[in-house]
Amino acid sequence: MGTTIVDSVLDGMGEAERPDSGDGGYVMALDAGTTSVRAILFDEYGCKVATASRPLSISYPQSGWVQQDPVEILSRQIACMIEVQFTSGIHSDRIRAIGISNQRETVVVWDRSTGQPIYDAIVWQCRRTAPIVDALVADGYSDLIRERTGLVPDAYFSGTKIKWILENVEGAREMAEQGNLMCGTVDTWLIYNLTHGTVHATDYTNASRTMLFDIHKLAWDDDLCEMLGIPRSMLPEVKPSSGLFGHVSSYVMTHRPPITGVAGDQQASLFGHCCFEPGSVKNTYGTGCFLLMNTGTEAKASCHGLVTTIGIAEGGEVDYALEGSVFQAGSVIQWVRDELGLIEHASDTEAVAKSVPDAGGCYLVPAFTGLGAPWWKPEARGVICGLTRATDRARIVRAAAESMAYQTYDILKAMEADSGHTLTSLEVDGGAAQNDFIMQFQADLLDIEVKRSEIDETTALGAAYLAGLAVGYWSSRDELRSNRAIGARWQPQMTGATRERLLAGWRDALRRTME
């Protein structure tokens, strides 16, 4: 066996119907996100040629629980891989390599003999394992976790989610002890199935988010596995992000392109932005903000509540990164729209914010669920302050938009302090990075240039780059840099005095959230 109906239809497509990249090849990126999965074809210039996308269901069986169906993730991902070939006419014989970027920390546990998941995927957002984490902290494991993994103990990371499945699914513990269970993050689940069960592997960046991986030794850590009661036999082999993972089975693609790039979504985005130099930073402005700074070959421990993680594992070296996130970013705009009713569409914020010269001393600190990095005050609650009789709708909307830039500023300053690097520019992507007002304000606050790449799919592009480098589709990082097209850039225009005054007001507003 090996050829499916779909494959034979694809085989029948004429050459003439297919776009030509000039060198007869493309790289396919699989972008396995939380809300959707996509397959995107890139040409040698890093331009997007075709895309297919499918939404994913998500379920919330109890308060704080978040899970997804692993088979749906897989089948919709495969559907995208098939569809993008139909719509583009680019057949698997012209796909030189496949790269995967995935939602991080989400785990799947499956039966080694049947390949069937024994439980839904527990999604990164899921908080059900918070009591397990509390117990680890109470038992004094925080320092061990921090030293070996670079992470702060949190339910967010994969390890406690695997433990939860072993403890709560009937028979799971015994199966695991007998070596009959396998586990992995979403990349691993996809690779395993796309290679027809022949490859059980992940990459360093995904492994670094499990709370089981020693980021200095680049190996699973026996003490951490024991701490969580996870048998080593369940865990995948860990490889650099760029290199051969395996070939896609002919059940899925006739010509069996190799999977040669794998990275967690934020790390893939770092690579897609070509943040190859120590000190370079990207920020993704979505529902939350995700910031990663490349800190080079040295893992820098944070004194400011950031996590240390593996940033890039390509070309025989590992670059570490500092990571910080803003919990409430684009979500604040949604709140202003849906709860306050001040705007109709998220994009309205730009015109409304620009309609006034400044926020008139008004600040909105969206500590809805406490303050994250670098403050870590879970008990803090949000405030709107500095109100005067002149405060109007536009100024509150402006303060909401500005809050994304202030929170980003705080994390970047923590990154500078932890890493010793001084920022020279900021690479941006994500839905809210489409807002020119916020980007200009960000450049003004940071007093550096802000650059938005022309392509909005930097995560997928990063996965494609990792895959393409491994097969020589692109020759070097220099070639990737030369592909790089900046769609928009913002230079700082604010005076130092204004910046200081605004930041002093923000710090005052922050203090009020903790009162």
* Smallest separation (angstroms) from ligand ADP to the CB of 351: 10
Q: For residues 502 and 499, what is the distance between their CA atoms, to the nearest angstrom?
A: 5
Q: For residues 476 and 490, what is the distance between their CA atoms, to the nearest angstrom?
A: 28
* Smallest separation (angstroms) from ligand ADP to the CB of 332: 8
**CB closer to ligand ADP, 153 vs 330:** 330
Token pair for 427: 């690479």
* Smallest separation (angstroms) from ligand ADP to the CB of 407: 14
Output DSSP code: residue 94.
G
Q: Which of 465, 457, 392, 393 is nearest to 431 (CA)?
A: 457
Q: For residues 515 and 57, what is the distance between their CA atoms, to the nearest angstrom?
A: 40
* Smallest separation (angstroms) from ligand ADP to the CB of 382: 16
* Smallest separation (angstroms) from ligand ADP to the CB of 346: 4
Which one of 333, 343, 411, 455 is in contact with ligand ADP (CB under 6 A)? 333
Question: Are the beta carbons of 332 and 289 closer than 8 angstroms?
Answer: no
Residues 6+ apart with CB under 8 A from 219: 213, 238
Residue 262, helix vs strand vs coil = strand
Question: Are the beta carbons of 484 and 282 closer than 8 angstroms?
Answer: no
- Mask: binding to ligand ADP, 153-172, rule CB under 6 A, as x and -? --------------------
Which parts of 191-306 are beta strand (E)?
201-203, 213-214, 219-220, 237-239, 242-247, 258-264, 281-285, 289-296
Strand partners, 451: 427, 489
Residue 264, helix vs strand vs coil = strand
* Smallest separation (angstroms) from ligand ADP to the CB of 106: 15
Q: Which residue is nearest to ligand ADP (CB)?
A: 431
**CB closer to ligand ADP, 290 vs 375:** 290
* Smallest separation (angstroms) from ligand ADP to the CB of 426: 16
**CB closer to ligand ADP, 333 vs 415:** 333
The residue length of the chain stands at 515
* Smallest separation (angstroms) from ligand ADP to the CB of 53: 12
* Smallest separation (angstroms) from ligand ADP to the CB of 415: 21
Token pair for 264: 């967690």
Q: How many CB atoms lie within 10 A of CB 301?
A: 12
**CB closer to ligand ADP, 295 vs 349:** 349
What is the footprint of ligand ADP within residues 104-133 (CB under 6 A)?
none
Main-chain dihedrals φ then ψ at residue 201, nearest 5 degrees? -150, 160
Which one of 130, 346, 385, 503 is in contact with ligand ADP (CB under 6 A)? 346
**CB closer to ligand ADP, 150 vs 430:** 430
- CA distances to 291, 336, 430, 489, 505 from 448, rounded to whole Å, are 16, 28, 19, 11, 21
Residue 396, helix vs strand vs coil = helix
Token pair for 293: 């700074």
**CB closer to ligand ADP, 360 vs 431:** 431
* Smallest separation (angstroms) from ligand ADP to the CB of 408: 13
What is the DSSP pairing of strand 95-102 with strand 258-264?
parallel
Residues 6+ apart with CB under 8 A from 164: 122, 128, 129, 132
**CB closer to ligand ADP, 305 vs 431:** 431
**CB closer to ligand ADP, 107 vs 329:** 329
**CB closer to ligand ADP, 194 vs 353:** 353
Q: Which of 234, 216, 62 is nearest to 158 (CA)?
A: 234
Taking CB under 6 A as the rule, does residue 254 contact ligand ADP? Answer: no
What is the footprint of ligand ADP within residues 375-434 (CB under 6 A)?
430-432, 434
Expressed in angstroms, the distance from the first to the final Cα of the chain is 68
* Smallest separation (angstroms) from ligand ADP to the CB of 333: 4
* Smallest separation (angstroms) from ligand ADP to the CB of 82: 24
**DSSP H stretches of helix in 213-359:** 222-228, 265-272, 330-338, 348-354
Q: Which stretch binds ligand ADP (CB under 6 A): 193-201, 252-260, 316-324, 343-351?
A: 343-351
Residue 97, helix vs strand vs coil = strand
**CB closer to ligand ADP, 89 vs 286:** 286
Which one of 160, 208, 266, 331 is in contact with ligand ADP (CB under 6 A)? 331
**CB closer to ligand ADP, 36 vs 425:** 36
Q: For residues 233 and 222, what is the distance between their CA atoms, to the nearest angstrom?
A: 11
Site size toward ligand ADP, by CB under 6 A: 15
What is the footprint of ligand ADP within residues 271-310 (CB under 6 A)?
286-287
Q: Which stretch binds ligand ADP (CB under 6 A): 44-52, 258-266, 298-306, 341-349?
A: 341-349
What is the footprint of ligand ADP within residues 431-490 (CB under 6 A)?
431-432, 434-435
Interface residues with ligand ADP (CB under 6 A) are 286-287, 330-331, 333-334, 346-347, 349-350, 430-432, 434-435
